[in-house]
A and B are shown apart, each in its own frame.
Chain A
Amino acid sequence: MEVDKGKGEAEETRKVAEADRDTVTLKSSDGKLFEVSKEAAARLSTVLAGMIAGGSIDDNGTDLKQIGSEALENVVDYCNKHANSIPSAALISSSISFNTAPFKEPEEWERKFVDRLSHDALFDLVEAANFLGMERLLDVTCHKISEMMKGKSPDQIREVFNIKNDYTKEELEEIRQELAWAFYDD
């Protein structure tokens, strides 16, 4: 939630924050301020946990020069949503299928959270999560990227992610032969 734009919601957050002092203020590379729950930040980010424990949190906004305001807004949004989420109920798989186990799989709201992001926003968020040491958010965003790769041919993957092929034809042929098992379709 942005503070400096004076949105009603952000104001509300600040009032609550002033009363309880259980939030920290983070400052993006472009100077925007964001409030985040101290508990959620410490639980979800090893870097923020270290800063909170080490007392290097600035009340006027802790500088995070590597993170743009859009990505930081998503990080803060994720932390706040995480603080409020209730673990989903265990369900009997309606059809007996593989990969239904919930271990480390993103929750429904986490899927939605990353699904709405643009291509660039998703990668900005991966980088921010990596910088802040946010394991769970990295899992969720990496899961999303792996979903974007699934079922696609190498050509299609190159197109989706703008990957430039820097192999020669001969080199490619060599790899394909070496990894014939991977290109074999059953």
Chain B
Amino acid sequence: MDKGEEDRLSALPDDILRRILHRVNSKEAASTSVLSRRWASLWRSSGAVDLAARIPYEILSSHHQEAFSHAAAAALAAAEVPVTRLALSVDTDGGNDTVLRRFIHGGRNEMYSTSTDEGVFRDVLSHPAARHVEDLRVALVDTFDAVRFSGMEIYGSIGICCFASLPSRETLRVLDLTRCDLAPAAFPRLATLHLRLCSMQLTDLHALLDAAPVLTDVHLESVLFTYTIQQHVEVEPPELAMRLPSVTTLVLALCGVLGQGTPHGQFDTSCAIAIDAPRLRSFVYKGLLHPFQLRSASPELARADLHFLKDDSASYSKERTRMLFWQSVQSFSGAKALTLKVDHELKEIAAIGKERRAQLLCPLPNVERLELEGWHRPTSTTAAVAIANLLHCCHALRDLTLKLSTVPPDSEKGSNYAWESLRKDLLDYSRSIDRFRRRSSRISMEDSNNGVRYHDVQDISGMSGESFACLQRSLRRVSMEFRLDHSSSTCIGLRLVKFFAENAMALEEMRIDSGNWRLYEHLNLSGERWIARENPAAEVQCEFSTVPSVPFDSTTDLGRSTIGFTVLPLQRRKRMRCMS
């Protein structure tokens, strides 16, 4: 930073300084009044009120609540212009909701009762200065929320307060709520809607979306949609239908649908999702496989990221999983980039046999980038069928990323297992390094006893012998992550490497991360041979960079040393380079 004598900041015009203060929280903004006379009252016209309370667990007293209310009242009273940005946040780290409930509702609703009002926020929201708010953000955050609520669709009401009426219905453009429920409302100018960890009636959501003609950005994360079940009346489960005529970005993550009215409610995992968003550019979905439909063509769709969770409780037929997966993928046939992550075993989505392929597969003519992340049993090669299915669909694929694992994501072995396997990897790595160092002086193009010989790696059923349009013309780049298993010659990852090296005619680069370090000593020699066989004239150069020393006995460095081993770039016709 320049150490000039000049005060460039104070020299800026008032409206620029207000624009800066607009982004600073209210306490810091107000305290700028002591900087100099120039700053005495600028903060009063910044148009923002931004207050945060941090409550350490077990230290909450009514004192915290009073201080927050007092600061909010003072900041609002000081406002000399209408407040357009109002941000309120409360952070704690209790791991249960008691602290937040007590902060918001005082002595009331202390433990398990449902919250029905704004609590400590009521006076703030009903203040006359807050009548023209355009950007409203309220967040009640517990550090443990990320762990408590990730990984499954939400199935219970968890809002801590409920906004019955918001002050600036007509002016609101950005609404961002975390752990706050929203009563029926309509915001005609709403452009951005972010809801996290809250619940609302399905009919209210439909009404809210229908009343927001300029909405462009919708982000619903762990939102529970409820509907009323009439007792003794058989009704079809409702549809999570969203009409979003102007929305360009949509995130739908871990949202659940719950029927209310019966004593225990009815958590509905079969609820259909239907989205009508003709201007959609970017879509993110995380949740179970639901019947899914994109009602209108979205010609501007650039990318879709879909992460399907596995529903262990439901006794769906395997055909249903397969059908729902391909139906969902088909909806995004217009996307340029498609990211698929499945918690199911990959063979569960594989369309095996001519009849199924004809029934399920559809062309994905626009997909240029495809990423598939999933797991398979070490001995099963049916995963390759799923990969082949996708290659068949994507005629214009340029860039393929495969992330293959042999451990299901919800493995009950849990972290201990991961720890054990990591330690084993480190030991393997150490032995492998020793071997490598011992023989590094005589690396040659000759087959090595330790290396995998070309002919040892088996062809891959479901792929070898098939013809794929994208392999003939478009596929330029392949990235793969997999774990090298004990029998290298049958390892699906290695077989895929071989397959792409031999069959992808336009391939320029292959990146490989084998997860457990040992690949470099095997792959380089054999990979060289595979490519060399296809291109006898190719100039192949092999480089090994210095292998980092890993403290095997130390546990503190594990985080840093868990990085996989990467071969990059492995360039056909040019050279191979090996780094770790």
Chain A interface residues (CB < 8 Å from chain B): 86-87, 89-103, 118-120, 123, 126-127, 130, 138-139, 142-143, 145-146, 149-154, 157-158, 160-167, 172, 175-176, 179, 181-184, 186
The secondary-structure label for the interface of chain A is loop
| Distance A86 CA – B369 CA, assembled complex (angstroms) | 16
CB of B435 within 8 A of chain A? no
Shortest A76–chain B CB gap in Å is 21
Which residue of the partner chain, among B9, B135, B222, contacts A145 with CB atoms under 8 Å? B9
The size of the chain B interface, using a CB distance under 8 A, is 77
Asked if A163 contacts B31 (CB within 8 A), the reply is no
CB of B419 within 8 A of chain A? no
Asked if A101 contacts B23 (CB within 8 A), the reply is no
| Distance A145 CA – B20 CA, assembled complex (angstroms) | 7
| Distance A174 CA – B119 CA, assembled complex (angstroms) | 33
A102 and chain B: residue at smallest CB distance? B217
Chain B interface residues (CB < 8 Å from chain A): 1-2, 4-10, 12-13, 16, 19-28, 30-40, 52-54, 64, 67-68, 70-71, 74-75, 87, 89, 91, 135, 137, 139, 141, 145-146, 149, 174, 176, 178, 191-192, 194, 196-197, 217, 219, 221-222, 249-251, 253, 281-284, 286, 302-303, 305
Q: Which residues of B contact A118 (CB under 8 A)?
A: 1-2
Which residue of the partner chain, among A95, A120, A186, contacts B146 with CB atoms under 8 Å? A95
| Distance A118 CA – B6 CA, assembled complex (angstroms) | 14
Q: Which residues of A contact B87 (CB under 8 A)?
A: 98-99
Asked if B32 contacts A123 (CB within 8 A), the reply is no
Asked if A120 contacts B174 (CB within 8 A), the reply is no
Asked if A182 contacts B71 (CB within 8 A), the reply is yes
Given A90-B219, A98-B141, decide whether A126 and B31 contact each other with a Cβ distance below 8 A.
Answer: no
Given A93-B221, A101-B192, A167-B37, decide whether A181 and B70 contact each other with a Cβ distance below 8 A.
Answer: yes
Asked if A90 contacts B249 (CB within 8 A), the reply is yes
Asked if B194 contacts A101 (CB within 8 A), the reply is yes
| Distance A179 CA – B8 CA, assembled complex (angstroms) | 26
Q: Which residues of A contact B40 (CB under 8 A)?
A: 175
Asked if B31 contacts A182 (CB within 8 A), the reply is yes
Asked if B8 contacts A92 (CB within 8 A), the reply is no
B303 and chain A: residue at smallest CB distance? A89
Which residue of the partner chain, among B6, B71, B137, contacts A184 with CB atoms under 8 Å? B71
| Distance A98 CA – B512 CA, assembled complex (angstroms) | 36
Asked if A186 contacts B217 (CB within 8 A), the reply is no
Asked if B54 contacts A87 (CB within 8 A), the reply is no
Q: Which residues of A contact B33 (CB under 8 A)?
A: 175, 179
Shortest B430–chain A CB gap in Å is 32
Beyond contacts A96-B149, A123-B9, A181-B70: 13 other A-B pairs, Cβ-Cβ < 8 A, are A89-B282, A91-B251, A91-B284, A94-B146, A98-B139, A99-B87, A101-B137, A101-B176, A126-B12, A160-B1, A166-B37, A181-B71, A182-B31
Given A96-B221, A142-B20, decide whether A164 and B7 contact each other with a Cβ distance below 8 A.
Answer: yes
Asked if A123 contacts B137 (CB within 8 A), the reply is no
Asked if B27 contacts A92 (CB within 8 A), the reply is no
Q: Enumerate 25 A-B pairs (CB-CB under 8 Å) in ascending A order.
A: A90-B217, A90-B219, A90-B283, A91-B284, A96-B145, A99-B137, A101-B176, A101-B192, A103-B135, A103-B191, A118-B1, A119-B1, A127-B12, A142-B16, A146-B20, A150-B25, A154-B31, A161-B8, A165-B35, A179-B74, A181-B27, A182-B71, A182-B74, A183-B27, A183-B31
Q: Which residues of B contact A172 (CB under 8 A)?
A: 34
Interface centre among A93, A123, A172, A181 (most CB of B within 10 A): A181
| Distance A103 CA – B85 CA, assembled complex (angstroms) | 12
Asked if A96 contacts B28 (CB within 8 A), the reply is no
Given A126-B16, A142-B16, A157-B32, decide whether A101 and B24 contact each other with a Cβ distance below 8 A.
Answer: no
Shortest A167–chain B CB gap in Å is 7
Shortest B527–chain A CB gap in Å is 32
| Distance A118 CA – B91 CA, assembled complex (angstroms) | 35
Q: Which residues of A contact B22 (CB under 8 A)?
A: 142, 146
Which residue of the partner chain, among A127, A130, A154, A162, contacts B5 with CB atoms under 8 Å? A162
Given A101-B176, A101-B192, decide whether A149 and B24 contact each other with a Cβ distance below 8 A.
Answer: yes
Asked if A96 contacts B146 (CB within 8 A), the reply is yes
A157 and chain B: residue at smallest CB distance? B35
Given A101-B192, A181-B70, decide whether A90 and B20 contact each other with a Cβ distance below 8 A.
Answer: no
Shortest A56–chain B CB gap in Å is 24
Q: Which residues of A contact B222 (CB under 8 A)?
A: 96
Asked if A167 contacts B7 (CB within 8 A), the reply is no
Q: Which residues of A contact B282 (CB under 8 A)?
A: 87, 89-90
Asked if A181 contacts B74 (CB within 8 A), the reply is yes
Given A92-B251, A96-B146, decide whether A101 and B174 contact each other with a Cβ distance below 8 A.
Answer: yes
Interface centre among A90, A160, A184 (most CB of B within 10 A): A90
| Distance A57 CA – B89 CA, assembled complex (angstroms) | 49
The 10 closest A-B CB pairs, nearest first, are A182-B30, A146-B23, A123-B8, A161-B9, A98-B139, A95-B146, A181-B71, A119-B2, A90-B249, A119-B1
